[in-house]
């Protein structure tokens, strides 16, 4: 089998865990395409990462709260990289207030779940193209979820835009549950293709993650700051999911500190995972 440079796509690559995952993969000799939102952070990260010895790094700007931007970025990536070996859906965040996007979605659910769902759908042919030239399990999709998913009893099917009683932290936990359910159904659908899918909890991370949180969430993050990992430490599990042989032996898992760990009962609901896929497909249709 002819050897080729492996390609990773990393969302949220302009700062924090995403930037450190991109750095680590570049240092392993991968080609990396990053996606980021903030123009200044994107420019700074691109300058920093392209300066690494031998680095092949490209940054694409997109606001992943908007499906039209996510779809544009996905098509740019697809054109740049016909074969993708790892798609790391890392971008996400918490909103202090209920924001409905111009497309009619609640911004937390849109950026944390609908965007990676759409990005993965558009890039799936590129992942499958890489899998066709690779050993089974070598091509990976990873989602950055959170132990926050444990605080959500289930998907709020009848009110995905949180018309009543919006709480930023609760909306975030809801989206993180959606991440694991998405990976669960994706793994089922990709069984036998050579592409595997996993979710992970990065830990408590010292980053700009909570900068848009409400006061209660910011206070909570501050209270546990002494236990925080650096972004580079948190990125280790994401890089491991992309590049280590071990995660290629299974699919549909949930990981922390490079170990498979249990997720909540709600996150193991196969019927909910299948239903979320259908609902998400309908919401991203046309993009």
The total number of residues written for the chain in this structure:
287
Three-state secondary structure call for residue 32: strand
Mean pLDDT of the chain: 92
Look at residue 207 in the predicted model and tell me its pLDDT: 46
Structure tokens at 195: 């592409």
Look at residue 1 in the predicted model and tell me its pLDDT: 45
Helix axes 215-223, 168-189, angle to 10 degrees: 70
Helix-, strand-, coil-residue percentages of the chain, each rounded to 5: 50, 15, 35
Q: Is the pLDDT of residue 178 over 50?
A: yes
- Give me the mean pLDDT over the 214-220 stretch: 57
CA angle (284, 137, 21) in 5-degree steps: 70
- Give me the mean pLDDT over the 26-54 stretch: 97
108-117, 133-142, 201-210: the lowest-pLDDT one: 201-210
Q: Is the pLDDT of residue 215 over 90?
A: no
For residues 194 and 267, give the distance between their C-alpha atoms in angstroms, rounded to a whole number.
Answer: 24
pLDDT tens per residue across span 269-281: 999 999 999 999 9
Look at residue 166 in the predicted model and tell me its pLDDT: 94
Look at residue 93 in the predicted model and tell me its pLDDT: 86
220 is catalytic: no
Cβ-contact 43, 50 below 8 angstroms: no
Look at residue 224 in the predicted model and tell me its pLDDT: 53
- All domains of the chain in start order, with CATH: 7-284 (3.40.50.720)
Report the percentage of the chain scoring pLDDT > 90: 83
Look at residue 213 in the predicted model and tell me its pLDDT: 52
Phi-psi region of 137 (alpha: psi -120 to 50; beta: other; left: phi over 0): left
* DSSP-assigned letters across all residues of 30-61: -EEEEEES-HHHHHHHHHHHHTSTT-EEEEEE
For residues 129 and 62, give the distance between their C-alpha atoms in angstroms, rounded to a whole number.
Answer: 25
- Give me the mean pLDDT over the 158-174 stretch: 93
Torsion 54-241-9-148 (CA) sign: negative
- Give me the mean pLDDT over the 150-167 stretch: 94
Look at residue 133 in the predicted model and tell me its pLDDT: 95
Three-state secondary structure call for residue 11: strand
1-5, 26-30, 283-287: the lowest-pLDDT one: 1-5
Q: Quickly state the pLDDT bin for 20 (edges 50, 70, 90).
A: very high
pLDDT tens per residue across span 51-107: 999 999 999 999 999 999 999 999 999 999 999 999 999 998 888 899 999 999 999
Instruction: Find the catalytic residue in 172, 254, 256, 287.
Output: 172
Report the percentage of the chain scoring pLDDT > 70: 91
pLDDT tens per residue across span 219-266: 555 655 556 678 888 899 999 999 999 999 999 999 998 999 999 999
13-17, 20-24, 194-198, 209-213: the lowest-pLDDT one: 209-213
């Amino acid at each position: 089998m002819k050897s080729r440079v492996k390609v990773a796509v990393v969302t949220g690559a302009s700062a924090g865990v995403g930037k450190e995952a991109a750095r680590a993969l570049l240092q392993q000799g991968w080609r990396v395409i990053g996606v980021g939102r903030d123009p200044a952070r994107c420019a700074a990260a691109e300058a920093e990462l392209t300066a690494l010895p031998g680095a092949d790094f490209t940054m694409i700007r997109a606001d992943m709260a908007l499906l039209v931007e996510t779809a544009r970025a996905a098509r740019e990536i697809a054109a740049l990289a016909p074969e993708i070996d790892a798609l790391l859906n890392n971008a996400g965040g918490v909103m202090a207030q209920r924001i409905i996007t111009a497309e009619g979605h609640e911004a937390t659910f849109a950026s944390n779940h609908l965007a990676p769902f759409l990005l993965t759908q558009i890039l799936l042919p590129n992942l499958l193209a890489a899998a066709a030239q690779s050993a089974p399990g070598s091509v990976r999709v990873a989602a950055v979820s959170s132990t926050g998913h444990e605080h959500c009893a289930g998907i709020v099917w009848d009110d995905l835009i949180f018309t009543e009683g919006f709480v930023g932290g609760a909306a975030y936990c809801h989206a993180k549950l959606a991440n694991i359910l998405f990976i669960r159904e994706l793994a089922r659908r990709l069984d036998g293709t050579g592409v595997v899918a996993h979710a992970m909890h990065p830990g408590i991370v010292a980053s700009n993650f909570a900068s848009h949180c409400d006061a209660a969430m910011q206070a909570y993050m501050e209270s546990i700051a002494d236990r925080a990992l650096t972004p580079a430490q948190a990125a280790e599990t994401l890089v491991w999911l992309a590049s280590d042989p071990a995660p290629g032996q299974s699919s549909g898992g949930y990981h922390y500190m490079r170990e498979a760990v249990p997720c909540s009962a709600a996150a193991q609901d196969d019927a909910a995972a299948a239903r979320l896929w259908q609902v998400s497909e309908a919401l991203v249709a046309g993009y």
